[in-house]
Structure 1
Amino acid sequence: MYSCLQDSEKFINTSEMDSVLPGFENLDTFKVSEDLQNDTVKKKSKKGGGFQTMGLSFNVLKGITKRGYKVPTPIQRKSIPLVMEGRDVVAMARTGSGKTACFLIPLFEKLKMRIAKAGARALILSPTRELVLQTFKFIKELGKFTGLKAAVVLGGDSMEEQFSSIHGNPDVIVATPGRFLHVCIEMDLKLKSIEYVVFDEADRLFEMGFGEQLTEIVNRLPDSRQTVLFSATLPKVLVDFAKAGLSDPVLIRLDVESKLPTELKLLFLIVRPEEKVAALLMLLKSHIDSKQQTVVFVATKHHVEYLHSILDYCGISNTYIYSNLDPSARKIHAAKFTTGKVKVLVVTDVAARGIDIPQLDNVINFNFPAKSKLFVHRVGRCARAGRTGTAYSLVTPDEYAYLLDLHLFLGRPLILAGPNSTLNETVVGKMPQGIIEEQFSLLVTLHETHVDLVSMSNVCENAYKQYIRSRPLSSADSNRRVKEMPFASCGIHPVFKNETGELEADRELLLGQMKNYRPPGTIFEICGKNKSVDYITMKNKRAVHKSVIESFHEKTKEKEKLKPTFDESKKADLTVSDNHDIEETFKTVVLPKKRKIEEIYKKKTKKVKDEEHFIPYVPPDRHTEEGLAINNFQKDAIKAQFDLIGDSSEMLQSSKNQIRWDRKKKKMVAVNPNPKAGKIKTESGAWIPSSYKSDRYAQWKEKTKAAEQEEDSEDDEQKKQINKFKNIKTHWARHNEKVMTKQRKSELKTTEQILKARKIAEKKKMRQKKKFKKSKTKHR
């Protein structure tokens, strides 16, 4: 046995895997036991749940280990086995959680090896150019040893090059939906060989307006395909698309359960609405390191432009992105931030979709999100891959209810900052008033010197009023609890205690006491004279309602003692009693008729079923078809739906303008004015923009003679048919042979045909010269 072990070590050392086998980190995993004398070999204990336990082939595992992956992420561990089973999967996961490997590893396992003449067998659709190139790079790295060929179809690139790459019969096509549909229409491309389809960042595909293109592409795909859909959120449009395009899909919401990473630090800061911009300046100037990258989330595009101008006047280098910004400018601004030339990025929720910044350090919620899922989506952009991060949230009084909703969603208690609060707990606190006043005075001077800031601030106020109208309402329970919470008595947040010192803390305490002070009498009793009519009237009124006032004060004292808590009660795991315990405890047991106690408490035996030969009398998806399934995709998807609020007035009003009341259906339905304007109808009946249709492909075929190359491959089959007539010496056989040869002739000639024709022409010239010379000699 020991000699076998030595041979195995020699094999591993001489392999091409750099002394590493898939499933083993190094050669130390093989170890000879010193305790056992029977020459047995033991292997070091290794954690389960790795890529080696998924049943992957050797070439795929080799690519994974060469890439440096050792342990799969939670979304990979849950989704890869389901996709490899052939199920249609809809997976929700944060950006940066390893979604690309979730659909690439099953793709390699399904396609196995390259087949040159089969055509494309897998299609990956991504919303942006950068994401397509990133996926293509992953295919090259992970599928290095599979030999699969991939092609990229992107908008903005040369269409002729894409024609030639598709003519090379790639196994995988990675594309953006708009250009891919354009190429399909130009080439009249048949997608019958597609077996595996992936919609990456599917929610963004619909946000960018690719709904029509996706529907048309899906109609061209075969029904027997497997569809995988990955998304960070799950809007209603995506749910409807999944119902129509996927067969019995499985919804995976693994990252929603974990909600927030443990490395993320949450800071909730209470500010007044008029001091919000001053609080932001204080954080960026004095609290956050200038070398760290920070993203500021605001409500509308007007807030983006306003804050960008203020930060520029204050000397803080920043850039901005919102939905209506020009695409080229948007790309330039995003590149400035990702490359580190600018450290602050001001964005809206709509514009922030799809921006991946791996080195992000801080997130600031200038406007607190109205949905708890949106908060998780915002702050989840930092503290990735084991890095630490901080999320600052500026909360105004009109946002207290949303703050309560968030803590209930996260399952955390809402703790107000006090004198003994520490940084270890997630508390809600105030910012030092003295530091805010310094920045507020700076803002006042800026508005006095720059007139444009005044107009921009007025536009922001109007835009925020419209945003509040479209903002989802908080829960009624949170609105009720907010009134009971003593936010006014909240202290300074522990983060700022080192900066303020004891004097500032005493000042804040004194200010808090002044705010909470309530005089015992009314203004008529304090300011009036003792013998005045007002004073006497109020004294008489107070004497009449003395009992009511005392009962009110007692109730308020009781409410202060019973502060609302939001900790969920933990249930204890109780063991089930058996038959022996029941008989010892109870002498008499009342049971229904014709039933014994043994029947109730008897152990349930598992029914043995022969899976190979058993034929059920009902289909396995009967409950899903009838809508009676408890955990089906439709019910789970409705709970997971997530729609973003627009960041401009046009987007806020678009949802209202596109719906009308249907008298027959008794509900509001969508309306598209002039849906067929400037569009053409395709083979499947869908209407797409008419600009897609052109003769580029025909021109490319004439230019590159690609049609002749295809005809040359078909000539062999035609020759076989012609040879049938050669043996038959009849008139019609010869006639058919001539017809077939005429069909094979093409106007475009190959280089060999041109050379052959030139040789024949030269021979003819030589013959004519010889004849001419002979005729001359005869005449002489």
Structure 2
Amino acid sequence: MDTELVGFANPNEVEDDDDEEISNGKKKFAKKSGGFQAMGLNFEVLKGVLKRGYKIPTPIQRKTIPLALEGRDIVAMARTGSGKTACFLIPLFEKLKVRQAKTGARALILSPTRELALQTLKFIKELGRFTGLKAAVILGGDSMDNQFSTIHGNPDIIVATPGRFLHICVEMDLKLSSIEYIVYDEADRLFEMGFGEQIHEISNRLPESRQTLLFSATLPKVLVEFAKAGLSDPVLIRLDVESKLPEELKLSFITCRPEEKLAVLLCLLKNIVKPKSQTLVFAATMHHVEYIHMILDKANISNTFIYSNLDPSARKINAAKFQAGRVKVLVVTDVAARGIDIPHLDNVINYNFPAKCKLFVHRVGRCARAGRSGTAYNIVSPDEYAYLLDLHLFLGRPFHIVPSSGSGNIPEGAIGKMPQSMIEEELSELMCWHDNTTDLINMQKVCDNAYQQYIRSRPGASTESVKRVKELRISQAGVIAEYCDVTPAAADLLSRMKNYRPQGTIFEIGAKPSSVDYTVMKAKRAIHKESIANYHRKMEELDDKAADIAKVSSKKSILPSSSADEISAAFSEIVAPKKRKVDDLYKNIKKKKRTVTRDEEFYIPYAAPDKHTEDGLAVNSFAANADRVQLDLSADNEESRRLQTQLKKWDRKKKKMITVSNDSKVGKIRTESGAWIPATYKTNRYAQWKEKSKVDAMEDEDDEDEHPRLQKLRTTANTHWARHNQKTKDKAKSKAELKRPEQILKARKLLEKKQRKQGRKKGKGQKKGSKRG
């Protein structure tokens, strides 16, 4: 039975981006799209796009922008670095067109991190500089008074992080009724960071006639439910999904002992990486970032650093230093793993290997963007081998280990080592620095403690990978040829010396046959002769098994989608790349492979066919959630009994003890600082700011030019008539507003939807009535 993966390109077919048609053996060229000029953009928008340097739209831009210009709701998924930011900014400028000072914000862009929000603001200023549209940014950690002033300035576009923006909405009682265009940038990251409550709360405040665009580098099943609830008849665009990494990205995996990681990092930065190239180094915790920063300063390597607890202004300054090219190395935690576009970034180094496959994709996706080439170096210690195998399963790449002999045709991306002579040289220098600097010794202890805490919170690798890693002898991998700093002959000699195992022990070599030591060892060897033979046979079997695993992993399997029904229910239209058929020989090979004895229609496998992919893309897993849940049936000590009694309280109305909800986060939202506050929580800060800045007086002056009918309805006392007049005033304003054609069309579609639902309900009621009759 042939199953098709909905939304994905078929692996049996090759993507064809040339828009060619073949008929009667001759190439018949279809009309080319012509780039951005053929999209019907305004002159001001097109001028900004061309001035920015964009000439030919990327595949995701070719598919997304025309649909967005039609006013459709879109869920777009494409490989990282494929130009998703321009996909939602160009239709945004085309929709808003010109500045409207008194309307209020008409577009909202939600970003997971402040760096990504600032980068989006920079793009808006560059692409839309000829449109005259005003953009503002609302970020946590900045002054709320300044943000009140910004909102009162009626910007056309607001770029914000969800926590602070919702806090501002609550404080100012913002209705967001003027929002026409909402973008969720890096949507899976928004949900992964725990902004689900804020996103739903903000979505409830938006008008139903809005246009929604949801962009992400990955699309977990969690987001399908959100798209069904929050979007109106959305189109799903999935491009470049089969190749999770860009073709221009080169991978290198270097194994070493944990204590050698710093030495390997210094070897890479000093000897392998080009001196003028820019490098991003990812570490596990903020303490590792500070420690690596101190070491690189000692080594006279220009560098800077970013982590979440760093002051916002310092983060901005350090990021600007790196982007401007004043420093060559930026050491970061995963706060910079998503969405940051650093021009001409050449290399990424994973100092600590990521535990999640999706996180690896986003880390290395910082380089090799928009057609540029790049290299990702990965330093892997023995406790990270299982995650390395999980990654290869997720990517569908063959798992090759460099042989210790160094012979044979070694493919690119094989797992190997760095020459020990290079590592020893850096290790001796590191030991000297630590002996002479107390700060480094103290920081090393802090890092060791932080790593222990990191291991506790790190999700475990799959049990299959943990078992398989024991069979693969990764620690015995040979030296990667391109890192070898000695001549090939010397390298071969060193590898032979390393792998040489003498036949006898020290008691047998050089001893006389008549000596007691020699006689005892020969007798001992004779007793264990069979065990030694069994061990060598077992090692040979393991080598054969490892070779079989490498062969199996190199074969690409066709995975049917487990979420086809969900996707087809959520999206009425799916856009995939154009394809063309491969040659008949390849088809015949595939047909031979499909002849299996089991009946695919009734066969139920033990695991889901896309298990590895979904595990890599998962936002929340059942195992992680189950670990946090505990059920006590009865108390077994005094302390537990006391805690159980605290969970009940006396209800005066019901006249009995009732159980209090143990969930302290019900009806609350999380601010940018991480504190949970009630969704209706409101301080007096906004009122104080209005009084201090005399905003009411300025509004009175502005209202002198209002319509006479609205001026008559203006009253100051908080009475019934004042409230009545305010409602009448709002109605008059809403009637005066002109609706755009796409807004009218969307409102009609929503009305038709409601009428259909009501018709179904009436039909059911009539059937029930007829049954009763």
TM-score range, shorter chain: 0.5 to 0.7
Percent identity reads: 57
Report the CA distance between 1:101 and its aligned residue: 1.8
Alignment of 1:72-471 (within 5 A): 72-93=57-78, 96-111=81-96, 119-126=104-111, 131-132=116-117, 134-136=119-121, 138-139=123-124, 142-143=127-128, 149-154=133-138, 171-177=156-162, 180-181=165-166, 184-185=169-170, 188-202=173-187, 213-232=198-217, 245-247=230-232, 249=234, 252-417=237-402, 419-420=406-407, 425-471=412-458
Report the CA distance between 1:466 and its aligned residue: 3.3
2:689 equivalent to 1:696? yes
Matching residue within 476, 486, 511 for 1:500: 486
Computed over aligned residues only, the root mean square deviation of the Cα atoms, in angstroms, reads 4.9
Report the CA distance between 1:163 and its aligned residue: 6.5
Report the CA distance between 1:116 and its aligned residue: 6.7
- Matching residue's letter, 2:425: E
- Matching residue's letter, 1:330: R
TM-score norm. by structure 1 comes to 0.64
Structure whose alpha-carbon radius of gyration is higher? 1
* Secondary structure, aligned partner of 2:487: helix
Which residue number corresponds to residue 3 of structure 2? none
Please say which of residues 353-362 and 525-534 is displaced more in the overlay: 525-534
Report the CA distance between 1:119 and its aligned residue: 4.5
Alignment of 1:528-677 (within 5 A): 529=516, 536=523, 539-540=526-527, 542=529, 552=538, 555=541, 559=545, 564-565=550-551, 566-568=553-555, 640-642=617-619, 661=631, 671-672=663-664
Contact between 1:658 and 1:670, CA under 8 Å: does it hold in 2?
no
Report the CA distance between 1:231 and its aligned residue: 3.5
Report the CA distance between 1:505 and its aligned residue: 0.2
Q: Deviations over 1:171-215 (max 9, x none)?
A: 544445566546545654432232221123445656777665544
Contact between 2:252 and 2:414, CA under 8 Å: does it hold in 1?
yes
2:698 equivalent to 1:705? yes
Which consecutive unaligned segments of at least 5 residues does structure 1 have?
Answer: 1-42, 578-629, 645-652, 664-668, 722-739, 741-780
* Secondary structure, aligned partner of 2:415: strand
Q: Deviations over 1:87-110 (max 9, x none)?
A: 433434566432222112333444
Q: Deviations over 1:320-348 (max 9, x none)?
A: 22222333333333233223332222222
Report the CA distance between 1:637 and its aligned residue: 8.5
TM-score norm. by structure 2 comes to 0.65
Contact between 1:60 and 1:142, CA under 8 Å: does it hold in 2?
yes
Matching residue within 492, 499, 508 for 1:513: 499
Summarize the Cα distance change of 1:317–1:481 in structure 2 as closer, same or farther, 3 Å threshold.
Answer: same
Counterpart Cα distance in 2 of 1:168 and 1:471: 45
Contact between 1:239 and 1:641, CA under 8 Å: does it hold in 2?
no
* Secondary structure, aligned partner of 2:550: coil
Summarize the Cα distance change of 1:556–1:389 in structure 2 as closer, same or farther, 3 Å threshold.
Answer: closer
Counterpart Cα distance in 2 of 1:116 and 1:353: 34
Report the CA distance between 1:524 and its aligned residue: 11
Contact between 1:431 and 1:493, CA under 8 Å: does it hold in 2?
yes
Counterpart Cα distance in 1 of 2:491 and 2:186: 48
* Secondary structure, aligned partner of 1:258: coil
Contact between 1:90 and 1:229, CA under 8 Å: does it hold in 2?
yes
Q: Deviations over 1:427-476 (max 9, x none)?
A: 22221111211111112222222233334333333333333333333334
Report the CA distance between 1:493 and its aligned residue: 0.9
Alignment of 1:20-31 (within 5 A): none
- Matching residue's letter, 2:618: Q
Q: Deviations over 1:124-160 (max 9, x none)?
A: 3345666556545544554567x57434254588878
- Matching residue's letter, 2:617: A
- Matching residue's letter, 2:303: N
- Matching residue's letter, 2:282: F
- Matching residue's letter, 2:417: K
Summarize the Cα distance change of 1:282–1:238 in structure 2 as closer, same or farther, 3 Å threshold.
Answer: same
* Secondary structure, aligned partner of 1:336: helix
Which residue number corresponds to residue 599 of structure 1? none
Counterpart Cα distance in 2 of 1:362 and 1:178: 33
Report the CA distance between 1:713 and its aligned residue: 0.9
Contact between 1:423 and 1:495, CA under 8 Å: does it hold in 2?
no
Which residue number corresponds to residue 624 of structure 1? none
Counterpart Cα distance in 1 of 2:304 and 2:390: 32
Report the CA distance between 1:537 and its aligned residue: 6.8
Q: Deviations over 1:107-126 (max 9, x none)?
A: 34444666676554332334
* Secondary structure, aligned partner of 1:295: strand
Report the CA distance between 1:536 and its aligned residue: 4.9
Counterpart Cα distance in 2 of 1:90 and 1:494: 44
Summarize the Cα distance change of 1:62–1:661 in structure 2 as closer, same or farther, 3 Å threshold.
Answer: farther
Contact between 2:255 and 2:475, CA under 8 Å: does it hold in 1?
no
* Secondary structure, aligned partner of 1:224: coil
Summarize the Cα distance change of 1:423–1:356 in structure 2 as closer, same or farther, 3 Å threshold.
Answer: farther
Q: Which has the higher contact order (CA 8 A, sep 6+)?
A: 2
Q: Count the aligned residue pairs.
A: 603
* Secondary structure, aligned partner of 1:124: strand
Please say which of residues 712-721 and 481-490 is displaced more in the overlay: 712-721
Which residue number corresponds to residue 3 of structure 1? none
Counterpart Cα distance in 2 of 1:484 and 1:157: 53
Counterpart Cα distance in 1 of 2:167 and 2:315: 25
Summarize the Cα distance change of 1:518–1:246 in structure 2 as closer, same or farther, 3 Å threshold.
Answer: farther
Contact between 2:74 and 2:234, CA under 8 Å: does it hold in 1?
yes
Contact between 2:83 and 2:370, CA under 8 Å: does it hold in 1?
no
Contact between 1:271 and 1:395, CA under 8 Å: does it hold in 2?
yes
Q: Deviations over 1:622-680 (max 9, x none)?
A: xxxxxxxx99xxx9998733479xxxxxxxx9x999765599xxxxx99447987999x
Q: Deviations over 1:302-359 (max 9, x none)?
A: 3222222222233333222222233333333323322333222222223544543212
Counterpart Cα distance in 2 of 1:261 and 1:224: 37
Contact between 1:186 and 1:696, CA under 8 Å: does it hold in 2?
no
Summarize the Cα distance change of 1:236–1:501 in structure 2 as closer, same or farther, 3 Å threshold.
Answer: same
